[in-house]
Structure 1
Amino acid sequence: MPHKNSTKLSHKERVNTIIEYIDVHIENPVYRLDLDTLASVACLSGYHISRIFKSHTGEGIHQYVKRLRLENAAKQLLYSKKTIQHIAELSSYHNFPAFTKAFKQHFGCPPSDFRERKNIVDFHDVYPIHTERLVKGKNIIDMQTKNLPDQKVVFMLKIGPYEDAANRAWAGLMQYAYSQQLITRETTNIGITYDMPEFTHEEKIRYCACITIDHNHKAQGDIGTKLIPGGRFATFIHQGPYAELCYTYDYIYNDWYSKNNVTLSNHPSFSIYLTDPIKVEPENLLTEIYVPIE
């Protein structure tokens, strides 16, 4: 039994390694993200890593990489000024008709139509809420521009519907962090949502719970370590329940972005939780959202 458990932990570590490698290099066409390359990264045969990866994520490696590339392309179409040809190349499609065909198969329309219609989801149907709050971003009590250094974190990644994935990630990470005495007065809690619900099916949403550390730490199993890239960020302080963060994100990407002359970075946005939900009422919770900009 101990051998079986250690093997299971080893498999999780290797899947974490592959997912992190893909996330770092997904928008750089110089890096090959084929089975042979990823098997080498995980130090396993292609057969074994393919089987292990699918058992943990529910998707084959090729399917996973292709989907992320197309979903990242969708974000670029809506929230960047890059040409469609350039976006296709960043998505590792050097044959433009092949990119158009793959994009249409995934999203139901060619990339040019996708870019023109902008609001691809009616958020009033998905997230029922008072229109005035949605349009004006009433949960936002402060907006600034900040520069941050890289942040070293211990993390746990979970996949599934946002609330469920976030709850599982934080429960697992905190149990581990306290057992390893990683929590200090200086610890910052950070949540990263890699996917946008208007592009990604809820069962495939990736949520990463992170805590900052100031030293090297050897993680294992579901737990990993990484650097959250620093840089320049537009920041927004959201006051209110975590369940309403989606409305603030919607305001940022579909209202604030369209009215401000900014270029979004390719890195994912993240949230820093400023208050303790155990001690603070939901309507008074403060969450600082960091949107990377160039």
Structure 2
Amino acid sequence: MNTGDTSNLVRVYDTLNFVEENYSRLISVKELEQVSHYSYRNIQRIFKYTCGETIGAYQQRLKVENAYKMILYTRETLSSIALEVGFANVASFSKAFRLHFGMSPSEARERKLPLLAGAEIVPQETATRLMPEIIYVPPVTVYYQSAFIDYNHEEVEALWERFMLHQFDGAGTVFYGIVADEPLIRESLKCRYDACASTQGIKGKLPSKTIPAGRYASFMHYGSYENIEDTYQKIYAGWILDTHLEFAPTPVIEKYIKHPDNTASIAEQETAIWLPLQ
């Protein structure tokens, strides 16, 4: 994500967040102007410069990508998914989906297991599977900074280094990461990741958003963040393949319980991974 004037960036973040929360319905010009405090022409121009695509293209991408998540992780019918993400009918859904992914929604469902296998997500023995705690999380207001990055330790760490320049009050601040995109379906694109804190930064204004309330499957990762992908691999190759629960298309949340700022021991670091449930 390109950066420029801070006030412009906050307004773009507010617009981005508004579109994410309302992607499945028609968003009016007046609403975009109200949330961004810019004319429609100006927010379109600034949004495209900052995010690399128009607001309309971003909303359409959210529709089809969230639909793909539901194809992968729920048992809903394709017609139900089409309506839920904002398409008037299956025909318009199928057309948009094929334009974005090069295949129909029904083909995507048929390719689910090959897709998982291609990502080396194959069933594990029951005895070695990680099991989650099913929790309810109330809504949490956070202040955040976004980046479109490769989801790996180095790029996430670089974002956090920039984010922590805001100097948060460490006494009561809780830190979160929001993994907004599903890497499985975005092989050639950067994934959006938000570095979040429960209190505003002392230096510089940050935009705010709400981590949605709801049920989550909570898994624990212990030790360095560098190998958190190993824990994700165990989650996706184990419990997630045969659970009777269905997943929501909202982002995965990481809660950093023990991290380098509050423990000197790498072995004591703890990260909760929350997978949203329907």
**Which residue matches 1:224?**
207
Q: Which amino acid aligns with 2:33?
A: A
Pick from 252, 256, 280: which aligns with 2:265?
Answer: 280
> Partners in 2 of 1:58 and 1:95 — Cα distance?
29
**Which residue matches 1:54?**
48
Change (3 A) 1:203 1:160: farther
How big is the shift at 1:220?
A: 5.9
Q: Which amino acid aligns with 1:16?
A: Y
DSSP 3-state at the match of 2:5: helix
> Partners in 2 of 1:64 and 1:118 — Cα distance?
24
> Partners in 1 of 2:126 and 2:50 — Cα distance?
37
**RMSD of aligned Cα (Å):** 2.9
**Which residue matches 2:273?**
289
Q: Contact 1:137/1:251 (CA < 8 Å) preserved in 2?
A: no
> Partners in 2 of 1:111 and 1:200 — Cα distance?
16
**Which residue matches 2:251?**
268
DSSP 3-state at the match of 1:274: strand
How big is the shift at 1:243?
A: 3.6
**Which residue matches 2:176?**
190
**Which residue matches 1:167?**
157
User: Within 5 Å, which residues of 2 pair with 1:146-157?
Assistant: 146-157=135-146
User: Within 5 Å, which residues of 2 pair with 1:1-294?
Assistant: 8-26=5-23, 29=24, 31-33=25-27, 37-119=31-113, 120=115, 122-124=118-120, 135=124, 143-163=132-152, 165-176=155-166, 178=167, 182-201=168-187, 203-213=189-199, 223-277=206-260, 279-281=264-266, 285-294=269-278
Q: Contact 1:162/1:202 (CA < 8 Å) preserved in 2?
A: no
Deviations 1:226-256 (A, max 9, x none): 2212222211111244243234334434531
> Partners in 1 of 2:16 and 2:87 — Cα distance?
21
**Which residue matches 1:4?**
none
Q: Contact 1:140/1:237 (CA < 8 Å) preserved in 2?
A: no
How big is the shift at 1:36?
A: 5.5
> Partners in 2 of 1:138 and 1:35 — Cα distance?
54
More off after superposition, 97-106 vs 67-76: 97-106
Q: Which amino acid aligns with 1:232?
A: R
More off after superposition, 227-236 vs 70-79: 227-236
Q: For structure 2, which runs of at least 5 residues remain unmatched after alignment? A: none
Q: Which amino acid aligns with 1:118?
A: K
DSSP 3-state at the match of 1:162: coil
Deviations 1:25-59 (A, max 9, x none): 22xx3x32365542342122222111100111111
How big is the shift at 1:260?
A: 1.5
| TM-score, normalised via structure 1 length | 0.80
Q: Contact 2:141/2:198 (CA < 8 Å) preserved in 1?
A: yes
Deviations 1:203-228 (A, max 9, x none): 43110011123xx889966x211221
> Partners in 1 of 2:170 and 2:74 — Cα distance?
39
Q: Contact 1:140/1:239 (CA < 8 Å) preserved in 2?
A: no
Change (3 A) 1:184 1:220: closer
Deviations 1:64-95 (A, max 9, x none): 11112111110011111221011111222213
> Partners in 2 of 1:73 and 1:153 — Cα distance?
26
Q: Which amino acid aligns with 2:170?
A: T
More off after superposition, 153-162 vs 197-206: 197-206
How big is the shift at 1:135?
A: 3.7
Q: Percent identity among equivalent residues?
A: 28
| TM-score, normalised via structure 2 length | 0.84
